[in-house]
Amino acid sequence: MPYKDIEKKRESARKSYHNRKTPEKLERDRLAMAEKRKDPEKNKILQSRCRISKWKKEIRYWGTWQELDELFMNALCCPLCDCVMNQANNSFQKSLDHDHHSLYFRDIICKNCNNYRGKVDRNRMMVHLELYRRFNLF
C-alpha cells in the first residue's frame, strides 16, 4: 500500500518538473542569460560572484571576499617564479593558493606553482603520517 503512494508522488513530481521546464521558458531563460552576457559590466559582476562563491566553499580568508577579488584582479606576476600571469595561457593562469590542511589562503600564484605547492603539501602530509605510524611522534 505505501509503495503505491511513493510511486504516485514520484509521478506527480516528474510531471510538475516537466511542466515547469517548457521549451518556451527554457528559450526565455537562454535569451535572458545571453542578454546579461552582452553587457560587459554585468558580465564582470557575474564572473566575480561566481569566483567568490567558489572560494567560499574551498578556502578560509581573514578579510572580505570583495578585497580578495580585487587582490586577485590586480595580481600581475607570480611571486614565486616571477612569470606574468594571464588568463590566455593555461599554465600561467592565476589561482588562489591555500593550505589544504588548514584551508587558509596563502597567496595568488600561477597554476604551475600552485600544482607544485600542492604536491609538496601532500608529500609533507604523507611524511607526517608515516612518522606518526612508525614512531608515534606526534
| DSSP of 52-114 | HHHHHHH-B-SS-HHHHHHHHHH--B-TTT-PBP-SSSGGG-EEEEE-TTT-BEEEEEEHHHH
Centre a 10 Å sphere on the Cβ of residue 99 and count the other Cβ atoms it contains: 14
- In terms of pLDDT, which residue wins out, 125 or 60? 125
Compute the average pLDDT of residues 41-56.
74
Residue whose C-alpha cell is 521546464: 21
Q: What is the mean pLDDT of the chain?
A: 78
pLDDT at 15: 67
Centre a 10 Å sphere on the Cβ of residue 116 and count the other Cβ atoms it contains: 14
pLDDT at 17: 64
pLDDT in tens, 79-101: 888 888 877 767 678 888 888 77
Cell numbers for 123: 608529500
The model's confidence at residue 3, banded by pLDDT at 50, 70 and 90, is low
The model's confidence at residue 126, banded by pLDDT at 50, 70 and 90, is confident
Q: Identify residue 45 by its one-letter amino acid code.
A: I
The model's confidence at residue 49, banded by pLDDT at 50, 70 and 90, is confident
| DSSP of 23-62 | HHHHHHHHHHHHHHHHSHHHHHHHHHHHHHHHHHHH-B-S
pLDDT at 104: 82
CB-based contact 59:103 (threshold 8 Å): yes
- What predicted TM-score, i.e. pTM, was given to this entire model? 0.55
